[in-house]
Amino acid sequence: MAIIYSYPVVDPTLNDLVLGTDVDAQGKPTKNFTIQSIVSLIQGSATGLEAVLADSPDGGGLNILNIGNITGSGVSTSVSFTDSTMTISNGTGTGFVSISSTDFVGDLTGVVKNSSSIQGDVTGVTQPVGTSNTKLATTAFVMNKVDPSVLQYLGDATGPFDLNLVDDDFKISGTANQIETTATTVGGNVGTINLKFPTTGVTLPDGSTATTQAAADNSTDVATTAFVQQENSAQDLDFIGDTGTSSVLLNS
């Protein structure tokens, strides 16, 4: 009758013994081996796992799962990965179709490509007002610099008024036959607005006033009604009669 022994199942440790046969010794005696000796044999022997991977780096085509870390030492410490499309070798990745990540640590350098674009709601650091360099400007930086593209002018006593440089036109009205404006290109988009009287003459509004020139002024200065009146009042008509000279005032 056979005797069957039942042993409890426990988690092995490196110092536990495993019963085995020494096939290389005479008589093939039964011996106990520690688990640590077996692990060392697999890692370092000529036919162990290390030697197998050195002879066949792809591990026989099997997948290696749940690797926490890979370090290298010796002649070469570089590690390369490839899946026939994507390759990472010596710190350089090629063949990526897309990269998805929660965050990138460190600076992204060399991201310069002609006709490239960034889509979606991309945010950035808003630089201080007055910054003038090659850093990217956010919409907040632009609004802080020009808010909101408005030119304010006083006008008359009812001002000031806001002139939006994008949506509004600045016009001088009510100056027909009085003042005309012309624009002169100085350079680029910078222009000069000239205000002048039209060459065909001006028509001043009723009630316009001017400086009254001195009596006997004979120049191209504008003559007011007061100037004409003083000149008229100062004139008389002299004549010689039978008994002497006399005068007649033209305004009486």
- Look at residue 2 and tell me if it is in a domain: no
CA distances from 156 to 137, 148, 159, 240 (A): 38, 23, 6, 61
The reported pLDDT for the residue numbered 55 is 66
Residues in a beta bridge with 33: 18
Q: Would the pLDDT of 112 be above 80?
A: no
The reported pLDDT for the residue numbered 156 is 66
Q: Is residue 175 domain-shared with residue 198, that is, in the same domain?
A: yes
Of 131-135, 166-170, 189-193, where does the model show the most confidence?
Answer: 131-135
pLDDT confidence tier of residue 133, bands split at 50, 70 and 90: very high
Of 74-83, 135-144, 146-155, where does the model show the most confidence?
Answer: 135-144
Q: Is residue 219 domain-shared with residue 249, that is, in the same domain?
A: yes
Which residue, 60, 40, 37, 59, is CA-closest to 48?
Answer: 40
Q: Is residue 217 domain-shared with residue 242, that is, in the same domain?
A: yes
Q: Is residue 202 domain-shared with residue 214, that is, in the same domain?
A: no
* Total number of domains constituting the chain: 4
Q: 0.85 exceeded by the pTM?
A: no
Q: Is residue 30 domain-shared with residue 52, that is, in the same domain?
A: yes
Of 154 and 25, the structure prediction assigns the larger pLDDT to 25
Q: Is residue 225 domain-shared with residue 192, that is, in the same domain?
A: no
pLDDT tens, position by position, 72-100:
555 455 567 777 788 888 778 888 888 88
pLDDT tens, position by position, 202-223:
888 888 899 999 988 999 999 9
Assess contact for 22 and 28: CB atoms under 8 A.
yes
- Look at residue 251 and tell me if it is in a domain: yes
Assess contact for 177 and 202: CB atoms under 8 A.
yes
The reported pLDDT for the residue numbered 243 is 64
Cα angle, residue 156 at apex, residues 152 and 157 outer, rounded to 5°: 105
Q: Which two tokens stand for residue 198?
A: 């039209």
Give the domain extent around 199: 171-207
- Look at residue 5 and tell me if it is in a domain: no
Q: Would the pLDDT of 188 be above 90?
A: no
